Amino acid sequence: MVLAKPLVVMIHGAGGGGWEYRFWKPVFEKAGYEVAAPDLMPVKAGLAKTTVGDYVDQIVKAAGDRPAVLIGASMGGVLVLKAAERIHPRALILVCSTSPAALAHGPAKSYPPIVKWKGGPYSDTVASMPDSDEPTRRFAWPRWRDESGAVLNAIAKGVDVPKPACPVLVVIPGADDTIPPARQEALAAWAGADVMCFSGMSHVGTLLSRRGGEVAAEAVAWLSAR
């Protein structure tokens, strides 16, 4: 009987896709994991009608009936926390993550029904990826997509999730100017998580910087120790 490889489901951030894990996926596969890095898709009614629940359903489907490790970056962080209610994962890795309702941090930002990122100027990609090399920026630029305002508004307001029962790792980019590192530290404290902080790294850098593979290797080592 051939045993199945342990499954890792990697969930991307707002306006991105599974491609954000292009440096993480091979590191995990080399370590013996099966990796699913799906693109979260809008519902048939369109992106503006897509909700947190719709994305969580897709995460649950990607995990199937196997015990999985869930990894979520930025928007994906709170989505995998929500999915963990139904999946009961082996472990959670939250990367530059958004926070749940328990860590509300003031008035919620308001987003339009569709947040436009697709087809933006290349200069925006350069600004958001200061620690990535030019080929990686050129790879990312045409792949950004629009995002559901309903999902982002729900996350900004606060998504209710219970504290996870499994081991949790919070990966914090030390120079994150999108989600303040202090907020991510509060998330780690709330979740009873282990913490890895990468000094000088940008929000997107944890996945797509020149050191993205290094961050992934540290995450694999953490899992192995569990």
45-71 confidence digits (pLDDT tens)? 999 999 999 999 999 999 999 889 999
Give the Cα separation of 47 and 156 in Å (integer). Answer: 17
Six-digit token string for 42: 């809008």
Helix (H) or strand (E) holding 127: helix 122-128
- Reported pTM: 0.96
pLDDT score recorded for residue 123: 97
Which parts of the chain register pLDDT below 50? 1-2
Which of 3.30.70.20, 3.40.50.1820, 3.40.50.720, 2.60.120.560 is the CATH number of 7-225? 3.40.50.1820
Per DSSP, the three-state class of 69 is strand
Task: Provide the residue ranges of all domains of the chain, joining segments of one domain with +.
Answer: 7-225
Phi-psi region of 162 (alpha: psi -120 to 50; beta: other; left: phi over 0): beta
**Neighbouring C-beta atoms of residue 183, cutoff 10 Å:** 15
Per DSSP, the three-state class of 7 is strand
Give the C-alpha distances (Å, rounded to integers) separating 155 from 14, 31, 51, 77, 138: 11, 33, 10, 10, 29
Give the Cα separation of 35 and 5 in Å (integer). Answer: 9
pLDDT score recorded for residue 107: 65
pLDDT score recorded for residue 226: 81
